[in-house]
A and B are shown apart, each in its own frame.
Chain A
Amino acid sequence: MAQSYDAVVIGGGHNGLVSAAYLARAGMRTLVLEKRHVLGGAAVTEEIFPGFRFSVFSYVVSLLRPEIIRDLELPRHGLDILPLDGTMTPLHKGEGPKAGGGDYLWRVNDHGRTIRELRRWSASDAEAYEEYGQLMVEMARFIKPILAITPPDLTSLDPRPMLPLAALARRFQGLPQPQQAVFVQLMTMSASEFLDQWFETDPLKATMSASGIIGTYQGVKSPGTAYVLLHHYMGEIDGAFRAWGIPKGGTGGVSNAIGSAARALGAEIRTNAPVANVIVKGGRAVGVALESGEEIHADAILSSLDSRQTFLGLLESGTLDPSFEEEVKRFKFRGSSGKVNLAVDRLPDFTSLPGVGEHLRGAISFSPSIDDMETAYDDAKYGHFSRRPYIDMIIPTLVDPTMAPPGKHVISCFVQYAPYKLAPELGTWDDQREAFGDAVIDRIAEFAPNIRDIILHRNIQTPLDIERTTGLTEGNIFQGELSLEQLFFNRPVPGYARFKTPVRDLWLCGSATHPGGGIMGANGRIAALEVLKARGRKAA
């Protein structure tokens, strides 16, 4: 006799856990099934090398929705975000401002200091920086409600789901025209052209534009990347400049806090419980079958997996209408990023800013120029990993020493570009993994030559590895490219952006849905609220 629940959530990533927590909170008997031995999906902390703990895939947070932190009382469950102080962009010798000073660009949380640093480069940029920062905060404030909207189906004849859109349009009209225009630019422009309107300092534009390409298979000059810029700005809205932080205990710390909150609200969580398929009877999802053969029944099934795994992996072929399957196959993943995790016995020493100092406590962005950023993309377009990649480096042990043995450190390097599909002549990622790692170390060594001498262990995550471990299709960290045609109404399938699927009682709740990826949790929350609405339950 199979067990039965009100709701089963497939996948114990941060979104799955958020969904489960909200369902349990509304009194539904909820079970979460995670295939791995650890919770978190792409937001996990693992001890890869003895004594060295890593946020294996994702590495920073800022997008986690405040309402979720409140509703689920996450701090009480151990969530502790340690702020990252600023961003340092190391440069080659002589690339600094002619005015003299060091060959670096260093922005910190102390606004005054940042402005003084920018003046070193350009008086007009220092001035524009204030204006720009304010503007982006206003933009993020305007767009924030969109994160909580369930996208309407433009072709549906039911006007009700359109109302939030109408409200949005009215709020849009409330903005001053210059802000309206900037919003439109954010939705359509390339990050570098958008920034060109304010700034002239190349390393500043390159480093800022990097937020526009994180997790996408686009270059800083590709139209549509300004939106990703804004997407990554969301996190900064409630805080000061760059309110990015790293969770104590790594990003797994976030997942564990949400998991513990879900449990406290009555949800059951099972790890090492891979789901083989969703059981569909008479066109409705009635349960899941585990790979172990065990069957579990439920009134509602929520999948936090991406759309391809859910529809093509968990459902028997023939369950879905062929034209719908066609759209599912069309959805673009195109993983483009890799991760290099380093265990080191000393800190890297940057030629342009020698020694140990607070410049190492924030993000270190290897983005000296727009040309460098774009050239890195050009390599990837033709199926090669970037020969001189963009790297977003952080050293978690400087803010959270518990991650490594005393005196030792862990270094997290988020790397772009690493295209999932390699050019034929390169073979597979299994052939290229070490070469990719070397390219990353070489790039770092351009600015911090001692890097080679301090490495104890290195762990390389190619898009293929990310796919193998987490199941993320093509290693796309956002469960689908954040390109304009894959947002809002069209995410993940045109006409099915409302978390519902063509299979009754089967729902999506992962990053594949609106509003997309990042450790945000919004997807899981809205999905749970939709499920509750559909079942006539009140969200507690």
Chain B
Amino acid sequence: MATTGVNGNHYDAIVIGGGHNGLVTAAYLGKAGLRTVVLERRETLGGAVGTSELAPGARVPTLAHTVGRLRPSVVRDLDLKRHGLSLVGPDVRVFAPGPDGSAVVLWGDVARTAEGLRARSAADADAYPGFDHLVRSLSGFLGEIAGRTPPDIESPGLGDALAGLQLGRTFRGLGRDHGRTITRVLPMAIADFVAESFESDALQAAIAWRGVQYTSMGPWSAGTTAVLLTDSAGNDGGAAGQTVYARGGPGALIAALEAAATATGVEIRTGAEVAHITSRDGRATGVALAGGEELTARAVVAGIDPKRALTGLADPVAVGPSLLWRAGNIRTPGTVAKVNLVLAGSPTFPAAGGDARLLRGRIVIAPGIDAMERAHDAAKFGRPSDEPIMEATIPSLTDPSLVEGAAPGTQVMSVIVQSAPRTLRDGTWDDAREGFGDRVVKTLEAHAPGLTALVTAREVITPLDLERDFGLTGGHPMHGEHGLDQFFLWRPLLGHARYRLALDGLYLAGAGAHPGGGVTGQNGQNAAREIVSDLRKRRR
């Protein structure tokens, strides 16, 4: 039950940042009867999850375009369906057109996918069900871990815990072979992982895509298999990956979360920028807003990225030099850009052979492992790739409500582009923005002749914009690279992976915490669990 402070500015919990994880945390805290306020710097809630009107009556997913990794338990616990969330998922998951005019198609249905692959390679068709099973088994294990708070490295039992790993129920649940397999494949390069099952380069790339998406790594980088498996852990677990839309756009999920949170008494303020986190004797006591207003709370929860929270908002003296140095070294090499398009009509991809249904899933343009690696080669030297790899969706094909108010036939296309490094060797993104947008459209045109002519409105969001407008350090949409060095027990920092960050009373609930980024709500759910248990303890 809420502590009704004499001071209206005193709360049980202050959540900094109204992104989806911040809202999930707030809703759970409100549900636990804690007096909670969410402070969002921007005028709109949602952070990287939102819908924007790009042209009159045409609404596009601002950044993230699918929400299929949202934890079912979050939807249930917060009653999001009742609060207006409606999810729609086409049968097709991935349509990956190749330069040769053929395409790899991954369906939710394993057998259907396998049959489709047969024309390309009988061996791959036969291998697919086994691969899908392997991915489900391994990502199931990661899925269980994702729902837990990482173990306490200080705990005396840890040694035995690690040593006894093989006795752990979950690990044993994998079975002997998969148990061995996971220690082998987690640190593996995705290019090697897919090559162990498949011979076709196009299929390897279509699957490997999820291993590099949102990272600044190529398919030959160690640990990209862990990225793929973690992504699968968040959805139905399969090899095809998820393609699920929120009806009305990703913003609809935020609206549902906002409704769920306010229904539990959570207070939400937009246009409320936090200038710094106040603390006394190494304990977070509240926040000071840019306007000078001060709010106090028993728990200060960062929905924002940990690097910004520790090096930008917290008191450096309280954090201390050693931890400050470590926080400053959290890797946030943003390499993702977003291109949103309004189209006068549906584009035609010859590789789809006139079957428009194939365009309802994720359209992955990553023609081969080497092509993916070369795109990364440019990015690692600070150059946007001339042949970027990307994932496009046309959500309006599945959810016409997005274009209700627009001219008949209008479609919206949402393109998430890799190999766009935050820091350019030459020039700035403000100069490079439109040129990059042109290259993305040109790349799409190569697979969908005539697409360029259909474009009636375009928006290019660069990593610089992600940092400036969305407050993502380094323009990294995942609040920190999904590398093996920022994983599980050491995400965001070793010793700070249990959602408690640096100071007593300071918590991390965003993508910078375990299990990492993506529209899952898992971080917020885990963080809320820890915060509630701490606050209950402290009340006694």
Q: Which residues of A come within 8 Å of B, CB atoms? A: 153-157, 159, 162-163, 165-170, 172-173, 177-178, 180-181, 184-185, 187-189, 193, 197, 218, 221-224, 323, 330, 332, 371, 374, 378, 381-382, 483-485, 489-490, 494-495
Q: How far is the CB of B236 from chain A (nearest CB, A)?
A: 26
- Report B-chain residues with C-beta under 8 Å of the C-beta of A224: 187, 222-223, 484
B183 near A490 with CB under 8 A, answer yes
Could you say which of B163, B164, B179, B490 has the most chain A C-beta atoms within 10 Å of its C-beta? B163
Q: Is the CB of B485 within 8 A of A485?
A: no
**B residues 474-513 with Cβ under 8 Å of A?**
483-485, 487, 489-490, 493-495
Q: Please report the C-alpha to C-alpha distance between residue A63 and residue B223 in the assembled complex, in whole angstroms.
A: 28
B230 to chain A, nearest CB (A): 15
Partner of A166, one of B162, B176, B322, B495: B162
Is the CB–CB distance between B163 and A485 below 8 Å?
no
Chain B residues in 8 Å Cβ range of A170: 159
Does A155 contact B180, Cβ atoms closer than 8 Å?
yes
Q: Could you list 27 examples of A-B contacts with CB < 8 Å? A: A153-B166, A154-B180, A155-B179, A159-B166, A162-B164, A163-B163, A166-B159, A166-B164, A167-B159, A170-B159, A173-B156, A178-B322, A181-B494, A184-B494, A185-B485, A189-B485, A222-B220, A222-B222, A223-B223, A223-B484, A224-B223, A484-B187, A484-B188, A484-B223, A484-B484, A485-B222, A494-B183
Residues A193 and B331 in contact, CB atoms below 8 Å apart: yes
Residues of B within 8 A of A332 (CB): 192
A184→B150 CA distance, assembly (Å) = 15
Closest to B171 in A: A154
| Interface members, chain B 334-380 (any A CB < 8 Å) | 370, 373, 377, 380
Q: Which residues of B contact A159 (CB under 8 A)?
A: 163-164, 166-167
Given contacts A323-B177, A483-B189, A485-B188, 13 further A-B contacts (CB under 8 A): A153-B180, A154-B183, A155-B166, A162-B166, A177-B495, A181-B490, A181-B495, A184-B489, A222-B221, A222-B222, A224-B187, A484-B223, A485-B185
Query: Quick one: given A154-B183, A163-B163, are A180 and B485 in contact (CB under 8 Å)?
Result: no
A154→B177 CA distance, assembly (Å): 11
Beta-carbon contact of B154 and A173 below 8 Å: yes
Determine if B533 is an interface residue (Cβ-Cβ < 8 Å): no
Q: Is B165 an interface residue (CB 8 A)?
A: yes
On whether the beta carbons of A378 and B158 are closer than 8 Å, the reply is no
Produce 1/0 per residue, B164-200, CB < 8 A to A.
1111000110001101110111111100100010000
* Shortest distance from the beta carbon of B334 to any chain A beta carbon, whole Å: 15
Q: Is the CB of B490 within 8 A of A184?
A: yes
> Which chain B residues border A221 with CB–CB below 8 Å?
380
Shortest Cβ distance from residue A163 to the other chain B in the assembled complex, whole angstroms:
7
B326 at the binding interface (Cβ < 8 Å) = yes
List, in ascending order, chain B residues with CB within 8 A of A189's CB: 483-485
Q: B327 to nearest A CB, angstroms?
A: 11
Interface of B is mostly: helix
Q: Quick check: A180 and B494 within 8 Å, CB to CB?
A: yes
Question: Sorted from nearest, which 10 A-B pairs have the closest CB atoms?
Answer: A166-B163, A169-B159, A484-B187, A188-B484, A494-B180, A188-B485, A155-B179, A224-B222, A181-B494, A223-B222
In the complex, whether B205 has a CB less than 8 A from a CB of chain A is no
* Interface of chain A, main secondary structure: helix
Complex alpha-carbon distance, A332 and B185, angstroms: 13
Which B residues lie within 8 Å of A495 (CB)? 176, 180
Expressed in whole angstroms, the minimum distance between the Cβ of A501 and any Cβ of chain B is: 16
Q: CA A223 – CA B171 in complex, angstroms? A: 25
Interface residues of B (CB under 8 A from A): 153-154, 156, 158-160, 162-167, 171-172, 176-177, 179-181, 183-189, 192, 196, 217, 220-223, 322, 326, 329, 331, 370, 373, 377, 380-381, 483-485, 487, 489-490, 493-495
Contact across chains for A483 and B184 when beta carbons are under 8 A apart: no
Contacts of A330 in B (CB 8 A): 196
The residue that A169 contacts in the complex, of B158, B185, B493, with Cβ under 8 A, is B158
Q: With A155-B180, A181-B326, A382-B370 in contact, is A223–B494 under 8 Å at CB?
A: no
Q: Is the CB of B495 within 8 A of A494?
A: no
CB-CB under 8 A from B171, the residues of chain A are 154-155
Q: How far is the CB of A98 from chain B (nearest CB, A)?
A: 20
Question: A124 → chain B, closest Cβ, in Å?
Answer: 13
Contacts of B494 in A (CB 8 A): 177, 180-181, 184
Q: Which residues of B contact A155 (CB under 8 A)?
A: 166, 171-172, 176, 179-180
Give chain A residues whose Cβ lies under 8 Å from the Cβ of B158. 169, 173
Cα A172 to Cα B370 with chains together (Å):
39
**Inside 8 A of A188's CB, which chain B residues have their CB?**
187, 223, 483-485, 487
Bound together, the chains give a CA A157 to CA B167 distance in angstroms of 7
Among residues of B, the one whose C-beta sits closest to the C-beta of A176 is B322
How many whole Å from B490's CB to the nearest CB in chain A? 5
CA distance A163 to B158 in the complex (A): 13
Q: Are B187 and A181 in contact (CB under 8 A)?
A: no
Q: Which residues of A contact B222 (CB under 8 A)?
A: 218, 222-224, 483-485
- Chain A residues with CB under 8 A of B156: 173
User: What residues of chain B lie closer than 8 Å to A223, measured between beta carbons?
Assistant: 217, 221-223, 483-485
Cα–Cα, bound, A330→B186 (Å)? 15
Q: Is the CB of A494 within 8 A of B163?
A: no
Q: Which residues of B contact A168 (CB under 8 A)?
A: 159
Let me know if B184 and A485 touch, CB within 8 A: yes
* Chain B residues with CB under 8 A of A378: 377
Across the interface, name the chain B residue whose C-beta is closest to A218: B222
A355 to chain B, nearest CB (A): 36
Cα(A153)–Cα(B165), bound, Å:
11
Residue of A nearest to B181 (CB): A494
Contacts of B381 in A (CB 8 A): 371, 374
Chain A residues near B167: list those with CB within 8 A.
Answer: 157, 159
What residue of chain A has the Cβ atom nearest to residue B192's Cβ?
A332
A-chain residues with CB within 8 Å of residue B370 when the two chains form the complex = 382
Q: How far is the CB of B423 from chain A (nearest CB, A)?
A: 13
| Bound complex: CA A224 to CA B484 (Å) | 9
Known contacts A157-B166, A180-B153, A181-B494; decide if A381 and B220 are in contact (CB<8 Å).
Answer: yes
Q: Which B residues are in CB contact (< 8 Å) with A381?
A: 220, 373
Q: Are A489 and B183 in contact (CB under 8 A)?
A: yes
CA distance A167 to B163 in the complex (A): 9
Report the minimum CB–CB distance from A52 to chain B (whole Å): 39
List the B residue with the shortest CB-CB distance to A332.
B192
In the assembled complex, the CB of B196 is this many whole angstroms from the nearest CB of chain A, namely: 6
- C-alpha gap A154/B186 in the complex (Å): 15
- Cβ–Cβ < 8 Å partners of B184 in chain A: 485, 490, 494
Is the CB–CB distance between A374 and B187 below 8 Å? no
A300 nearest CB across to chain B (Å): 26
List A contacts of B484 (CB < 8 A): 187-189, 223-224, 484
Distance, CA A165 to CA B164, complexed state (A): 9
